[in-house]
Structure formats: structure tokens, C-alpha cells
A and B are shown apart, each in its own frame.
Chain A
């Protein structure tokens, strides 16, 4: 039984990794590629680590596997966010099939100011920052 679960986890994890790499090749633009790489790869690593922990069934190995899972869960979304954000603001083109972009109209490329579209009178005025072009 446990053999079966371990095998399923490892195969599923490897398939997810394969899927992530296929996604990098096939998907049309930077942001959709970030989708494929972070999530599928993270879930793949988690499944493989669970299988490893089950296979060895030792405290040391399990603790390390859990630590790896926690670190992946902590770092993967941050990395995806930073790469995606940088790519978007540097101006990488979105795919032609993109149906909607609510960020572009609210972003000022000169001051790097990002409005929310729901400003009130009180916070509409902005303090000048050092990074503003003079």
C-alpha cells in the first residue's frame, strides 16, 4: 500500500515538473510562463519530498523534507511575484489573447506611481518622493 502511494507521488511529481518545463516552451508570454513554472514545479517538489519522507520514515529525513516543503512554499510565490512584476513594468508584451488589463491605466511610468482607482480626496494628494524625476 505504502509502496503504491510513494510511487504515485513520485510519478505525479515528475509529471508536474515535466509539465512545468513544457509550459515554459509552449506558453506565449512571460506572465503565463511564470504561472506554469512556479505552481506546477512547486507542487511537483512537494509531492516528491512527501514520497521521500515516506520512503525513509526517519525523523531526520522527514524533518528535512518538511523544511524543504516550507522553504519552497515561502520562496516560490515571492520569486514569481518579483519576476512577473519586473517583467511587466519593464514592458514585456502581454499575449495577444489577453482579454483585460486593469493595471496599465493606473500606472504612471514616469513616477512609478500605481493608483488603486479608489482614491478618496484625503489620500489623492501624494507626497513627493526622492525617486521622482525633477
Chain B
């Protein structure tokens, strides 16, 4: 968190000092601020872990967009062709996430990827019930969901 604030402050300083108040220049400032933070990270304790987090977030966004597009195509194909290829069903996924925020994030991400919709969390918060549209290969689906959860949790921990 401190890292993000410092990065933003450095970017603002860059914008003010270079006198060019545009979004692109702010981006440039963010990049330079990030580089500066990477360079001083070994000496400043409160910055620990911040530089490693940014590439992780970017990778996660890339991964998420890929999943989103692929799954959307699959659903689209099934809607447009007359016979139903889908095998919908409700499955229980054991949750690694513990806190409320983590569970909310994981459930929302699962809802956002087409083909899966989170229905409910069990009362003891150990299992997330998910409605899935394509249960042809349950093992693979469970594996994908686990990977998504793992990557999402990595961002918080």
C-alpha cells in the first residue's frame, strides 16, 4: 500500500515538474516512479514486495482477459447452434480464501468468467457452490477454477 502511494506521489511530482498535464504524461510518471521504487526497494523496508506485485497484477489481468474471451466464445457457440452442447450443473468448490474480502473477490471473478456463476457460500465458509454451464470435463473445470482462485489470492497475500 505504501508502495502504491509513493508511486502515485512520484508520478504527480513528475507531472507537476514537467508541466505537461495529460494522461499520457501521468502514465510516463507512473512508469518512472515504479522504476525508482524498484531501484530503492532493497534499502527501504516498507516497500518490500511492492515491485514484485505489479507484474503479478498485470499477468493476472492478462490471464483473466484470455479466460474471458475464450469462455465467451464457447457460450456464444452454444447459443447460436441449435442443439445444446452444454451440460449444466451445480458443483461445490472448496475455498482456499478465508476472509470476507477474499471470498468476495474470488466469487466475483468466478461469476465474471462465462460458464461459471457463483451461487452461494456454505454457512461455514468452506465451500463455494458454483453453477457451471460446461461440465463435460469436470476435472479440468475444477483445475481452472483452482488456478483462478490461486492467482487471485496471490494478489492479496
Contact = CB atoms under 8 A, between A and B. Distances in A.
Interface residues on chain B, size class: 35 or more
Nearest to A129: B123
A106 interface: yes
Per DSSP, chain B at the interface is: mixed
A131 interface: no
B79 A26 contact: yes
A99 B135 contact: yes
Interface of B: 22-23, 68-69, 71-72, 75-76, 79-80, 84, 86-92, 94, 107-109, 111-115, 117-124, 126-127, 129, 131, 133, 135, 138
Interface of A: 16, 19, 22-23, 26-29, 31-32, 34-36, 38-40, 42-43, 59, 62-63, 73-74, 76-78, 80-81, 84-85, 88, 94-95, 97-104, 106, 113-119, 123, 126
The 10 closest A-B CB pairs, nearest first, are: A100-B89, A77-B111, A116-B122, A39-B114, A116-B127, A116-B126, A77-B108, A102-B92, A103-B129, A99-B89
